[in-house]
Structure 1
Amino acid sequence: MTGGPTNEATGGPGRTDRVVWIAPTLLTLAVVLTGIGRAQPWRDELATWSAASRSPVDLVRLAGTIDAATSPYYLFMHAWLAVFGDSVPALRLPAALAMAATAGLTAVLGQRLLGARAGLLAGLLLAVLPGTSRYGQEARPYALATFFAVLATLLLVAALTRPGWARWAGYAVAVAALGLVHLVALTLLAAHAVAVFAAPRDRPPNRPLRWVLALVPAALLLAPLVLLARGQRSRQLGWVDTARLTDLTTLPTGVAQSGVVGGLLLGLAALGAARLGRRALLPGLAVLLPVLLLFAAGLVVPLWVPRYLVFVVPFACLLAGAALATVPLPPALAVVALAGLLGLPDQAALRRTHEWPRSATVDYRGAARIVADGQRPGDAVVYSPRESWLFLDLGLAYHLGDRRPRDVLVTQDQARRGDLWAAECARPAECLAGADRVWLVVAGRRDDPLAAVAGAKGDALRADYTVERVWPRPGLTVALLTR
């Protein structure tokens, strides 16, 4: 599994082998930085911004209520925003850098396992995938998880090839970091276990023990996080259905963000696995076992979300790189270029919106612009629904900042409540008493936005206000109400 590639596979050792990672790294960086601020933050990124903008004490409170699994990432982003600000490019830059580094590490791992040419082609293929841009331009932890997944695997290969406590310590740190940014990515350890126990017998006999010992610090660190996150599953993943067999067929499209490119990657990976034989063990299982484990768990509890498996894509690229390495370099590069060309429509679409399907844009920025252009001192704003994963209030708060109207119904904001949603007034009519003009923001396109507001909030608005003007925007509607 970890035996060095032959000179025939690598073209012989030399300077090219040592710099095989540079081209994938730079290409990925160029691709993911192109248009990085064009698509407005979508709801998941708004959750990141809301959490990362809070104090560490408020983040601890949030972790005790919801989203504990993501809290280490939020803490990292809190420190990042304190230095670089919260502009759209600044929010997404950590993901972009992580994806660029992942492409370089993928090339290095491929060189170690399969040869320099296979590693180079794997890294370049990863660079041009629409999914690399999608998750390299998102203020969420998936790009960081992908980076640590490849890094941990590379360090494992190094520890198995040239054992030493320093290498095992590095592996232990990488595994702990992997779990901190994405607990689901720890399913990769199943592939690592097979690699450790299937390594050639001429390796040191205590390698399984060293591997287990390397996992102990991560287990101790992550156990409280796992227990806390487990108790929050119903709130955090209430929108997810249990898995169905047909979900497996959509996975290549989900992680590659393109049906045709995902199909091409899957076909090349299958060819590479067939060519490699035993050498396909580690990269092949690094793809298969996380997918199968998450799918099996998803049959029982609602856990199956394709983007949770983005971290397996570099390993599929390794197998595809091995297939491409069987032909001369120019035609192999032509296939990589073809993958990039086939993905261009998806590359353009994901830079317009991060929503899926792409037609489901929610125009927070446009709604904020309408309110900013028309508001007067003393105006109020009301959102419906409040407890929604669309995060209407966070969308306007991000784009308007301190210029937004008073959120008149809020009795406890998200930070004080330790939640992603604010608490609202139990008697809306009383809380609205001092507001002569109200900006109403409702989900969906509504000809009669007042009719879309449910409960006592809707009753209070309909009793005391009339609609002066309505602005339909993609995914939501803004209305100005006057008393």
Structure 2
Amino acid sequence: MLTLGIILTGIDRAQPWRDELATWSAASRSLPDLARLTGNIDAATGPYYLFTHGWIMLFGDSTAALRLPSALAVSAAAGLTTVLGQRLVGPRAGLLAGLLFAVLPGTSRYGQEARPYALATLLAVLATLLLVEAVRRPAGWGRWLAYAVTVLALGLTHLVALTLLPAHGVLVLVASRRDGGRWLLALVPTVLGVAPLVLAARAQRGRQLDWVDPARWTDLTSLPGGLAQSVAVGGLLLGLAALGTVRFGRRAVVPAACLLLPVLLLFTVALVVPLWVPRYLFFTVPFGCLLAGAALTLAPGHPTRPGSTGTGVDARPPTRRSWKETAPTGASIFHDLSAPPVGATLPPALVVVALVGLLGLPDQVALRRTHEWPRSAAVDYRGAAQVVAAGQRPGDAVVYSPRDGWLFLDLGLAYHLGPARPRDVLVVRDQARRADLWADECGEPATCLAGVNRVWLVTAGRRADPLAAVGGAKGAALRADFTTVQVWPRAGLTVTLLTRQP
């Protein structure tokens, strides 16, 4: 509930950014058009687009509606992180892990985004919890079936999240080797269901990720800040996670593997194949929070003895013990649920959680202004749409420059203006007919502009002379027949009203 409350605060304040515009464009198409799109580009995101298509049919495509599934998903992930922490480390570690996850700026960032990362995070934590339950209490195939279905859903939601499976292999190897056969059998539906998606995504990779460079070693140092959406918070969380890993020994094996192995696997592959996009690894954050929560249970304070209330209040003077005495012992990688809680009292640990929240507060405010990264690279689609809506007349046309980039200038105005937008005069084949995220424009712009007296020109970047910045035949046709009436600079783009020369 804390996570949901934080994320719902200002959920529609930051306008949809380019990736969310792609989600809206794909999910708002008919099912045949969506199938044709994913056959050409974005196959890996196709199942998420299909889900969002159904969601839009039920709840509409407002900014809040588009983002609500992500908000619900990360909120559920916070709750399941608490439960998983209880199973692996202890109830207090689980509670603190959930609270840490709730206050991270990164949780708000991806909980307020119409993309699949929040759903993948929920499924990653759920799959891990189901596997823990299946290994801890082997009783039939029910839990293994639930695990198999969840892992299949995880792969369909976010292919990169399947890098979590080697960590699950570590869990089975360390906890219960006799269940290795069941685990492998549970992965068969995922292999069969995801293989076609992998092949399609592999064929589209060159076009889909042409903006991604091969990974560099320095990318690892910036990953914590990127995932937490705050350098200070990411650094603090990493330090706490490292402390929790060292001090909890075997009981830290599972969350540590779930945090580190996906990162190392993706980075290793990305050294050769350009795949390194930090947000793809957001599903590992709950496991980092779990390790950090474990570290906070060893913070200075009075440990709770058996028979105490768990609040630090006891009729007898508390006995101070070292962390070695309170740290987990034995060979099990799971927490004994029947054991009384041990470790520091909650108030000192909650101070650290509050500190994390305060450190991330500036980034929480910033991400509610824009989802672009860096924050200074905002693109004000909404502001441009407001300019056009306030000044357009019947018969007006709109022209975009550039048309083939990742800014999606046309989708931005289409989302905010809807059917009331000016005629896209240069389009000869729109996104749906092209089965793409981009449209085809007229080969002879001067001919297509014939009969148009007023043009709204939307260009990328802040331009003192937007008309001069338009290249090719399109720019030549506009400069030959039109003159600038007024220019409206907005963040990341410029709107210009052109009228035909007498």
Match of 1:354 in 2: 371
Contact 2:135 2:176 in 1 (8 A): no
1 CA distance for matches of 2:160 and 2:408? 25
Match of 1:390 in 2: 407
Match of 1:145 in 2: 120
TM-score (structure 2 length as normaliser)? 0.90
1:196 maps to amino acid? V
RMSD over aligned Cα, in angstroms?
0.7
Match of 2:212 in 1: 240
Question: CA offset at residue 179 of structure 1?
Answer: 0.6
1 CA distance for matches of 2:281 and 2:291? 17
Question: CA offset at residue 279 of structure 1?
Answer: 1.1
Match of 2:396 in 1: 379
Question: CA offset at residue 200 of structure 1?
Answer: 4.5
Question: CA offset at residue 329 of structure 1?
Answer: 0.8
- Are 1:199 and 2:175 counterparts? yes
1 CA distance for matches of 2:65 and 2:435? 25
Name the SS of the counterpart of 1:232 in structure 2.
helix
Taking the TM superposition and a 5 Å limit, the aligned residue runs for 1:202-281 are 205=178, 207-281=179-253
2 CA distance for matches of 1:393 and 1:276? 53
Match of 2:45 in 1: 70
Match of 2:143 in 1: 167
Give the alignment partner of residue 312 of structure 1, picking from 274, 284, 288.
284
2 CA distance for matches of 1:63 and 1:286? 30
Question: CA offset at residue 194 of structure 1?
Answer: 1.2
More off after superposition, 159-168 vs 403-412: 159-168
Q: 1:298-333: per-residue Cα shift (whole Å, max 9, x none)?
A: 100110000000000000001001111122210001
Question: CA offset at residue 84 of structure 1?
Answer: 0.5
1:37 maps to amino acid? D
Give the alignment partner of residue 262 of structure 2, picking from 259, 282, 290.
290
Runs of 4+ in structure 1 deviating by more than 4 angstroms, as ranges, are: none
1 CA distance for matches of 2:255 and 2:286? 9
- Are 1:157 and 2:132 counterparts? yes
Question: CA offset at residue 212 of structure 1?
Answer: 0.7
More off after superposition, 141-150 vs 156-165: 156-165
Give the alignment partner of residue 345 of structure 1, picking from 337, 350, 362.
362
Q: 1:162-217: per-residue Cα shift (whole Å, max 9, x none)?
A: 1221100000011011111100000000100111122256xxx2x11111110001
% identity of equivalent residues: 75
Taking the TM superposition and a 5 Å limit, the aligned residue runs for 1:129-144 are 129-144=104-119
Q: 1:75-117: per-residue Cα shift (whole Å, max 9, x none)?
A: 0000000010011100100000001000000000000111101
- Are 1:80 and 2:45 counterparts? no
Structure of greater Rg:
2
1:461 maps to amino acid? L
Match of 1:466 in 2: 483
1:264 maps to amino acid? L
2 CA distance for matches of 1:444 and 1:171? 48
2:236 maps to amino acid? L
Give the alignment partner of residue 401 of structure 1, picking from 418, 440, 448.
418
Give the alignment partner of residue 185 of structure 1, picking from 132, 137, 161.
161
Q: 1:322-374: per-residue Cα shift (whole Å, max 9, x none)?
A: 11112221000110011001110000000000011111110000000000010
Taking the TM superposition and a 5 Å limit, the aligned residue runs for 1:34-113 are 34-113=9-88
Give the alignment partner of residue 348 of structure 2, picking from 331, 334, 343.
331
TM-score (structure 1 length as normaliser)? 0.93
Match of 2:337 in 1: none
Q: 1:410-464: per-residue Cα shift (whole Å, max 9, x none)?
A: 0111111110001111111111112111000000000111111111111111111
1:273 maps to amino acid? T
2 CA distance for matches of 1:456 and 1:396? 23
More off after superposition, 263-272 vs 191-200: 191-200
Name the SS of the counterpart of 2:271 in structure 1.
helix
